[in-house]
Amino acid sequence: MRYAVLGGGKRIRPILAIAAAEACGANLAPLMQHFAALELIHTYSLVHDDLPALDNDDLRRGRQTTHVVFGEAMGILAGDALLTEAFSWLASPADGVPPDRQLRAIVTVSIAIDSKGMIGGQVADLEATGADAAGAIEKLRFIHRNKTGKLILASALLGGILGGGSDEQLQALDRYGTALGLAFQIVDDLLDQEESSATLGKTAGKDLAQGKLTYPAVVGVEEARKELAALLRTAEDNAGMIAGRLNYLAQIARFICERRS
């Protein structure tokens, strides 16, 4: 578990939660463990996705994947335990947060990663592999919004909910996170075909090799970049609606859309 979590990674999901909470004026210190739970969930999804039965990959975050180092059984169990530990962290005491807010936060994360969220997206992705790309854009958006987008959306919402955001702030975070979640995966699709394994820290060119539905494959690179730019504008506009002492949300959106790894 420590090898998988502490071996690198951009920490985008907890950073998003911190930025959202900060923008809502929260006292961050009591919430850090809750936000760190997002990284445990994300890492569990990476460890399980890399397993032989799924993506069967041996490179992640610039190192050998967890199951390659510790064996397949330990890879499965480490992922299981990371997910379970995450909910224990989410449910741990959060000074200053009313219980109904904390429950809402836990449910928000749960439904983002259940069979109608991240896992549902992964199932749709597996079923779509090798499918004809014609007319596939709706299927592709469904996969991206669920497999990747919903945990990113839930990260922004977790910060807002635990951070005491108003209804208006949470609605803006919802629009921000929805746009950014899809944008994140469009960038991931583009990077998979444009960058090297060394830069990405994971195996490049895999989507194409596996016949996956991706933005460049379905709509082409130019259209993918256009949609990405529109999503970034939506994210930036909504970040601007969340007043706060500090608001890093727009900068994070730009970083996600312009990243090279």
Contact residues for ligand GRG, defined by CB under 6 A = 9-10, 12, 42, 45-46, 48-49, 54, 61, 118, 122, 147-148, 185, 188
Task: Give least dist CB 95 to ligand GRG, A.
Answer: 28
The residue with tokens 């299927």 is 139
Task: Give least dist CB 34 to ligand GRG, A.
Answer: 18
What does the alpha-carbon distance between residue 38 and residue 83 come to, in Å, rounded to a whole number?
A: 9
Name the token pair of 248.
Answer: 């890093």
What does the alpha-carbon distance between residue 117 and residue 109 come to, in Å, rounded to a whole number?
A: 10
Nearer to ligand GRG, 11 or 104 (CB): 11
Task: Give least dist CB 61 to ligand GRG, A.
Answer: 5
Name the token pair of 2.
Answer: 């420590």
Q: Give the Å distances, CA to CA, from 95 to 13, 27, 64, 165.
A: 21, 9, 39, 16
Nearer to ligand GRG, 66 or 122 (CB): 122
Task: Give least dist CB 69 to ligand GRG, A.
Answer: 16
Task: Give least dist CB 194 to ligand GRG, A.
Answer: 14
What does the alpha-carbon distance between residue 217 and residue 225 come to, in Å, rounded to a whole number?
A: 13
Residue ranges of the alpha helices (H) in 24-71?
Answer: 32-49, 66-70
CB-CB neighbours of 106 under 10 Å: 17
Nearer to ligand GRG, 10 or 101 (CB): 10
Nearer to ligand GRG, 122 or 178 (CB): 122
Task: Give least dist CB 166 to ligand GRG, A.
Answer: 29
What does the alpha-carbon distance between residue 99 and residue 108 come to, in Å, rounded to a whole number?
A: 14
8-state DSSP, 31? G
Contact 108, 189 (CB under 8 A): no
Among all residues, whose Cβ is closest to ligand GRG? 9
Nearer to ligand GRG, 66 or 185 (CB): 185
Nearer to ligand GRG, 146 or 238 (CB): 146
| Phi/psi at 174 (5° precision) | -60, -50
